[in-house]
Every structure is written in structure tokens, then in C-alpha cells.
Amino acid sequence: MFLLLVVIILVLVCLGGRMRSVKDLPSYPGWLPVIGHLHLLLGYEEKKLWTVFKQICDEATRRGGVMAFYLGPSALTFVSDPEDVQLVSRYCQEKHYMYDMAKPWLGNGLLTADTATWKITRKVMNLAFTPQMLNGFMSVFNSQAQRLTTQFEDNPERTFVPHTMLTINNLETICLTSIAFDPQKHKELFERYRVAISNIFALLVQRFLRFWLQSPFIYKFSKLKTQTDMVIKDLHNLSNTVIQKRKAIIESKEHLVKEDQFRPLMDIILELSKEKGLSDRQVREEMDTIIFGGHDTTANTLTFALMLLGSDLEKQEKVYQEIIEVMGHSDRDVEKEDLLKLVYLEKVIKETLRLYPIAPAFPRVSTSELKIKTYTFPAGSTFVVDAFNLHRHSVWGPDAEEFKPERWEKLDSWPKEYMPFGVGRRTCIGKMYAMMSMKISLAHLLRRFKVTSDISKLTLKMDSLLRPESGHVITLELRK
């Protein structure tokens, strides 16, 4: 016990007091002098993280939507009230130091960069994420969705967990569209890359849960850092190799760009880098960030969507009839004109993201003094936006806990109480990419299969994302 106390004190000294206490601010039960609530995190494994996080968020909601959770002298203020969330979104653009744990891999990509760096890079990246670029990905989205449908059909089991197949398929898609890397031609290399990404997620979560390793000084001497460095080296080697190959291709011939022509994101960013002065390292950081943020998030959302529709056959039939009305009974590709007509399917995806936001919380740091309700927070205060409970707030109506795509008929396209892709100006740059990819995947799957499942059996877990833990089983029936 004495040794543990020494470790905790060392951590607090290394991390420093990042926020002073705010007078009369309610705090989570169990606070102790010096260590705050750190003792409540001892012994928690990855599968338990969602449990303790949900308990904290629910308690904050019961206390009016503002509550402190203390990591030693450093306070995380949880907010879930819509008005408070809007203030945090507007005035808190800096990312929390927790994001620094991913910097050895992602560097100063859009996800982890400080605000000043983000502003410069985001302007460049906006030039790459255009409607023309997205339309050029239609062929890849369709071929990957067809490939996934075939894999489901060829699966000897009619009742199974689809998450692994969805994750691999979406990683293949993001590799094809972002770095022009074809997993089918380089199966061994792709498998190494897939395993490395899975490992880096697990290693980052381990560091977060072992709060003493959040200190850079202590982490530097840990075995976990050695393991993480080895995995990151593999990830960077692949990224650097692909960048050099694409640069050689671009320099060896002219690119004749036609409307809706497929071009990987890397080609566009490499061309922009000459004009905007991005280094190869910066290009790699952005590509790594896109792959990190693009594949697993989509797979999780598709899993949740299939579970929800499989548990509500009436709504699933409504989606199916819309698909048939728009595309007929053929197996043709989804075209860009079709996407605008698949209105109810888009509402299903939005409602899925409302109930199961992939990033259930967003930590942000204020750069100036901020007043929320009757509390005044100094500059440098850390806020945690509780998107999960915000999406279930009473502003959504008495049926906020229900899966009801029809609610979007009376809502704005993106209400202020809705943030599945982030907070404020630093929202995910790839949200339209994700929506297009998911609509095409679901259109192919649902016109081919009738899905049944039981959402009441679903349990959740959380690392950096919200994920299904168990009970996410579906049964497929081929449609005639």
C-alpha cells in the first residue's frame, strides 16, 4: 500500500495540477484527499472501462449535467446538458493531454494536433475531401459491399457475429480509398498491418488504464512503451513505403483527372503537399489518422445498425421496400443519384449513431475563463462532453431511448444536440465519407438478406471507441 501511494504521488507530481477546484462544484462520490477518485480506477480492465465511465456520466446527468471527477488535483468536468455542451463546443478547441498518448503513432494529424496546427492542416485536407473525390470512391464502396455480401452468403453459419468480417472489410476499403493499397494483392502484408492496428489499440488502452503510465517520465521506462514502439515501427514502415511508391507513380506520369474518376486520397494530398509545403512525415500522419478514424468506426456502426434493424422487422421492411423502389430487384451498383433517394436508410444510420455514438465522450480543454451555469472555470479547465447521455437527453422527447428513425422527419439534418462525429469546429472531416460508405454497404446487405437479432442481449465495451462486447449475434435469411 505504501508503494502504491508513492507511485500515485509521483504520478501527480509528473502530471501536475491541471485544474484548481471550482467552488461548490459537485463531485462524483468517493473523493479522497490528494488522490481524488484515482482509487476507483484501480483494477479496471478494458472490459470494465465502459461500466465505470457510464456510472460517472449517469451520476453527472442526475446532478444537473455538470460534475467533477478528480484524477488527483486534476479535474475532469463531465457535461451533458445541451446548453453547457454548446458552450464547451464553442470555447474549448484544445484536445486533452490524453490524446498525446496516440502521438507517437499519429503525430500531429488532425485528431491529435494542437489547435494552431489543426487550423493549418484542416484547410489543406478540406481540399481533398470534396464531393468530386467522394464520388470517385463509389466504385470501391460498391465492390467492397458486394464482396461483403458474398462473404456473408458463403458463410456456412446463418447465425453468427458479423463484427470481425465488417472490420476487415472496412479496413480493406479505407486502405483502397486512402493509400491505394490493395489487400487482395498483398494479403500477407495486409494481415500484418491489420494485426498491428489491433495491437496498437490494445496497447494505448492499457496505458490509459494504468494511470501511472500516463506520466511520460514513468512511461519512458516501462515495458509497455517498448512493445508500443515496436508496433508503431511496423505501422510507420508500411505507411512510408506506400507514400514513396505513390510519389514515384505520380512523378512518372500525368494524371488526367475526370469527374468521378477514382483517385486515392494519398495522391490528392501528395499533390497538395507540393503547393502547401507538407512534408512526407505530415502526409504520413494524416494518412495514419484517416485509417485510424475510418475503418473500425464504420464497422461498429454497421454492427449496431444490423442489430437494431434485426430487432425491429417492421422498420427493416420499410428500409427494404425503399431500396427496391429505388434500385429494383437487380444486383446493380448503388449510384450517386440513388444515395439521395435512400432517405429512410439515412435516417436509420443517423438514429443508430444517436443511440450508439462511436465516440461516446470528447475531452476538451478551455483556453480562457468559461462560465457554465453558476460555476466559473479558469483557463486550462478540462471538460468531458458526454455525447452518449446528450443523445438521450429529454430534448429528444419521451421516447429518447427508443430506436425511431422517423424522428428525423421533424429534425434538422444535424441538430445541435447531436454530435456523433465530434464537437464544435473539430468535427471529423470524414463524416460524409462514412455516411456514403455505410449507406452503400447496408443497401447491398439488406436487399440480399433479411436480418434478425435481439438488441436486448447486446452489451457494450469502450476503449477509444464504443464497441459491441457480446450479444451482437445476427441471423441471415436469403431473400428470394
Q: Running along the chain, 480 residues long, what does each successive block of 10 average in pLDDT? A: 46 47 86 86 72 93 93 89 92 86 91 89 88 91 97 92 94 91 89 90 84 87 95 90 84 57 84 83 90 87 98 98 95 94 97 96 92 91 95 94 95 87 86 95 97 96 88 94
Cα–Cα distance for residue pair 336/458, rounded to 1 Å: 34
* 3-class state of residue 32 by DSSP: strand
Are 303 and 163 within 8 A, CB to CB? yes
How many other CB atoms are found less than 10 A from the CB of residue 386? 28
Rounded alpha-carbon distances, angstroms, from residue 176 to 13, 121, 271, 457: 46, 23, 18, 35
Domains (range + CATH), the chain = 2-478 (1.10.630.10)
Helix 187-209 vs helix 46-62: crossing angle, to nearest 10? 50
CA distance 166 to 44: 28
Question: Bridge partners of 370?
Answer: 377
Q: Is the pTM of this model over 0.85?
A: yes
Specify the pLDDT at position 19: 45
> Do residues 465 and 359 touch, judged by C-beta distance below 8 A?
yes
Contacts of 34 (CB under 8 A, 6+ apart): 8, 9, 12, 72
Residue 130, all three cell numbers: 470534396
Q: What DSSP state is assigned to residue 113?
A: -
Distance CA 291, CA 358 (A): 15
Rounded Cα–Cα distance for residues 138 and 330 (Å): 18
Q: Reduced to 3 states, what is the DSSP secondary structure of residue 197? A: helix
Whether the Cβ atoms of residue 288 and residue 179 lie closer than 8 Å to each other:
no
**Predicted local confidence at residue 13, as pLDDT:** 45
Q: Which three cell numbers stand for residue 247?
A: 510519389
Q: Which residues are annotated as a binding site for heme?
A: 428
Q: Are 405 and 112 in contact (CB under 8 A)?
A: no
Q: Shortest CA distance to 386 belongs to which of 466, 457, 289? A: 466
Local structure of 314: helix, strand or coil: helix
Q: Which parts are annotated binding residues?
A: 428
What is the C-alpha separation between 323 and 342, in angstroms, rounded? 7
DSSP letter at 97 equals: G
In sequence order, what are the residues at sequence separation of 6 or more whose Cβ sits closer than 8 angstroms to the Cβ of residue 217?
A: 14
pLDDT for the residue numbered 115:
87
Single-letter amino acid code for the residue at 367: T
